[in-house]
Amino acid sequence: MDKFMAAAIDQARQGLATGGIPIGSVLVRNGEIIGQGHNQRVQGGSPIIHAEIDCLQNAGRIGHYRDTVLYSTLMPCYLCAGAVVQFGIKKVIAGESATFPGAREFMEAHGVEVIDLDLAECKQLMGDFITANPALWSEDIGEL
C-alpha cells in the first residue's frame, strides 16, 4: 500500500481511538506529508472538523495547493470537496467510496483527478464503525 494512504489510515485509527469517526487524511507535496488530520466532529463538538478540513488546517498557510495531492480514507463529502476545489488541489486519492459515495462527480467537474483505491481495509474500518454507531454515522452525513 502507498505510504501516504497508510498514513491516512493511521490518522483514521487515531480518530477512532479518541472516540471519533475513523476517517483520516494527509496532504502531500513533493513526496512529503505537509499536513495530516482526522475527523474530529465528535471530539471537537463541531459540524465541520472533517478529516480533510483538519488536515488542511494542520498544513497551515502554504501559499498555493496546485502541486499537492490530498489522500483521504473515504471519498470526500461536498464540504471537503468544496475545499479541494476552492484551494485548487488537483488530485484526490480516496481509500474507498463504497460506504459513502461523496462528491466525486463535483470534484471531477471542477478539473480534479479523483482516484478511488477501493481498499478493503478502509471499507472494513468504516463498515465496522457504521455497524457499531449507526446514529452517529447518520449524523455525520446529515441523514439523522
> Among all residues, which ones are annotated catalytic?
52
> Could you give the angle at the alpha carbon of 44 between the alpha carbons of 20 and 95, nearest 5°?
40
Beta strand 32-38 with 91-94 is unpaired
Cell numbers describing residue 20? 471519533
Q: How many other C-beta atoms can be found within 10 angstroms of the C-beta atom of residue 115? A: 12
**Cα→Cα distances 56→62, 68, 70, 125, Å:** 10, 11, 9, 23
Q: How many other C-beta atoms can be found within 10 angstroms of the C-beta atom of residue 7? A: 17
